[in-house]
Amino acid sequence: MYGKEKFASVVILSYNSKEDLMECIPSLMSQTYPGFEIIVVDNASRDGSEEFVRTNYPEIKVVQTGKNLGYAAGNNAGFEVAEGEYIVVINPDTVVDSNWLSKLINPFDSDPEIAATTSKILIYSQNEIINTCANTNHYTGLTFCRGFNKPSREFDSYQEVGSVSGCSFAIRRDILKNLNGFDSDFFLYQEDADLSWRIRFAGGRIMYVPESIIYHKYKLSISPWKEFYLERNRYLILLKNFSSRTLLLLLPALIVTEIVTMGHAVLNGPRYIYSKLQAYLWVIKNIKEILTKRHETICKKTTTDREFFGFLDWKIPFEQVIKFPMISKTVDIVFNSFYAFHMKLISRIV
């Protein structure tokens, strides 16, 4: 499994993921890529995950965090012990194609400006259906699956994209170190979007590699606690990365997005409304720390907000968040018409 050239470190974060690891790890062991290590970070699982890995795969590095640190900080713990020139992150609830890793790593040799690569992610139970082919970032901070529910034959072009999917991506070790890894404040969700924004603002390129195929046990759902993290972390991304002038210009769209997201919460009930309000409260309580991080991020920016807008989307795929097709289509026409006009206007003056 181990080689000398272009050594890579594959980091898997586990939290009660024993059953998934039983399928994921063997698929990693069958990779055609010549040189890599596997690191399993265990966030204090109670299902015997750590014992399973240590007993059955003694060659795998295991990092025990002692408590549930969340996705961001948990992966960071794996990055600290990684020895690879490239760091690769995958979810434990995945099974990978035998050429997954080699295809994901190969583009780095062709262009030193490529900072990260991301895979074609198919749905495990329907392997002819796309989960995501790199994520899309809306210019108000929302993040969506690119190509969700489309046939797997689509999105077959190797191309530059705005964001990796945290389910499966690779990044140069030196760039990850310079960016200080994931922002641990995110805990869960949107941390891949935040990292992608910082990569892009630092001048790095992100490439989508359709030949790097992985199967994800994915089901689209938004629980109340997920609503909290999605909204809170969206505000973090915006406040950390955009200049004050850009945020001011974005204000009309941000207000409209608040209507959209609050509408989603209202349609789903009191617990979702509570989560939305808790997101506001968290940002208010932690605004000093957020502004400190904002200063650090902006100091590392080499790409202007105007240039960055080229990798953001104006269209919200409402079919991913609204269950009823008729409502989805109506909302799509109303709100996306506004976003299209506003994005076009803003792109010229940012």
Output the pLDDT for position 2.
39
In the chain, the amino acid numbered 256 is V
CA distances from 276 to 60, 123, 190, 265 (A): 40, 29, 16, 7
Q: pTM score > 0.85 for this model?
A: yes
**Does the pLDDT value for residue 104 go beyond 90?**
yes
Mean pLDDT of 323-342: 87
User: Under CATH, which architecture does the 8-216 domain have?
Assistant: Alpha-Beta Complex (3.90)
Alpha-carbon gap, residue 210 to 11, rounded angstroms = 21
3-state secondary structure of 182: coil
Residues 39/68, Cβ–Cβ less than 8 Å: no
Residue 4's pLDDT band, with cuts at 50, 70 and 90, is very low
Residues 180/171, Cβ–Cβ less than 8 Å: no
Q: What percent of the chain has pLDDT over 90?
A: 87
Strand partners for 308:
none
Reported for 18-22, long-range contacts at CB under 8 A and 24+ positions apart, including other chains, are 18/45, 18/47, 18/48, 18/49, 18/52, 19/47, 20/92, 20/93, 20/94, 20/217, 21/49, 21/52, 21/53, 21/92, 22/52
**Does the pLDDT value for residue 3 go beyond 50?**
no
Output the pLDDT for position 178.
94
Per-residue DSSP letter, 44: S
pLDDT digits (tens, 9 = 90+) for 277-309: 999 999 999 999 999 999 888 888 999 999 999
Q: In b/e form, how buried is each residue of 244-254, taking b as 16+ CB within 10 angstroms?
A: eebeebbeebb
**Does the pLDDT value for residue 26 go beyond 60?**
yes
Domain boundaries, the chain: 8-216, 224-349
Strand partners for 214:
96, 121
Alpha-carbon gap, residue 93 to 147, rounded angstroms = 20
In the chain, the amino acid numbered 78 is G
**Does the pLDDT value for residue 349 go beyond 90?**
no
Residue 7's pLDDT band, with cuts at 50, 70 and 90, is very high
Alpha-carbon gap, residue 309 to 294, rounded angstroms = 18
Alpha-carbon gap, residue 35 to 252, rounded angstroms = 50
The tokens for 101 are 């890793």
Residue 5's pLDDT band, with cuts at 50, 70 and 90, is low
Please report which residue ranges of the chain form alpha helices under DSSP H: 18-29, 49-56, 70-81, 100-105, 173-178, 191-201, 224-241, 244-268, 270-285, 287-299, 305-308, 325-349
**Does the pLDDT value for residue 1 go beyond 50?**
no
Alpha-carbon gap, residue 77 to 64, rounded angstroms = 9
Nearest CA among 238, 242, 175 for reference residue 203: 175
The residue that leads in pLDDT, 322 or 81, is 81
Share the mean pLDDT of the chain.
94
Output the pLDDT for position 324.
72
CA 69, chain centre distance (Å): 17
**Does the pLDDT value for residue 81 go beyond 50?**
yes
CA angle 340, 346, 347 (to 5 degrees): 90
